[in-house]
Amino acid sequence: GQYDTEEISSYTIEKDSKYGIANQKGHIILPIEYDAIVPTTAQKKYYTGNYSILWKSGKCSLVDVSTGQVLFPFIYDDIIVNDTSDELFSIDSTFLVMKNGKYGFATFEKGQILDTIYDAISFKWWANEVAKAYYIIMQKDGKMGFYEYRFKYEYGECVFSSEPIYEKCVFLKNENAEADYYGMFFVAVKLNKKWGILDMKPGYSSIPNLEDLEFKYDSLKELKQDVNAEFKRRHNKKHR
């Protein structure tokens, strides 16, 4: 098949049931030695169509079809593209990577940032004009943990990581509370049968708000009913 976008012009070539990629001049940029090349919806710098899953001997990686560059090591049993666009913003795609029935997490910028040791991974993202953040809930051996990776412009770092210690972690989005928190994701966490709010404080240098984490709710429903009042209490504490 042909890849033809504003960024690339290349096409798949096949010989003896093996596949590679050639550029528009006919030069081979990816050797003809792969079992399959499968297009994805992955995007980077607002362009889609540049990235495909590359299969060889039952393992897979990601390839930039405009250059033939293989981006990840050939160690994964599957790669799943996360949706990272909405009606307002679009950020570079992220990936769930799978090995031996376990999941990890990878990005264009850093490659694999979470080991393939988790039974399940849930992913959310947030962005504005200058910053973006990845929110990840990891599940392992019946427990859940949380990881946040945040960028300002092109620089990114892990700002919070919790081992799977919670009985439950649930993503919720703040739609109504104080302006400092509006639109941000937070995580309802359950420990010893009680629920608490682990919020993602705004501002690039901040980290999830462990100092305000109290396990004071008997149910997730009760937590949701009190969330606006709780954020108001936290806002007033911060600004007093």
Average pLDDT, the chain: 84
pTM, entire model: 0.84
Average pLDDT over residues 177-205: 73
Amino acid 211: pLDDT: 72
pLDDT for position 142: 97
Q: Is the pLDDT assigned to residue 100 strictly greater than 80?
A: yes
Question: What does the alpha-carbon distance between residue 96 and residue 121 come to, in Å, rounded to a whole number?
Answer: 8
Average pLDDT rounded to a whole number, residues 17-37: 94
Q: Which residues, 6+ apart, have CB-to-CB distance to 128 below 8 Å?
A: 89
Higher pLDDT, 106 or 8: 106
Q: Which of 140-144, 193-197, 223-227 has the lowest mean pLDDT?
A: 223-227
Quick check: 220 and 163 in contact, CB under 8 A?
no
Rounded mean pLDDT of 72-94? 87
The string of pLDDT tens digits covering residues 109-132 is 889 999 999 999 999 887 777 778
Mean pLDDT of 44-66: 89
Distance, in Å, from the CA atom of 200 to the CA atom of 179, rounded to the nearest integer, reads 13
- pLDDT at res. 162: 85
- pLDDT(104) > 50: yes
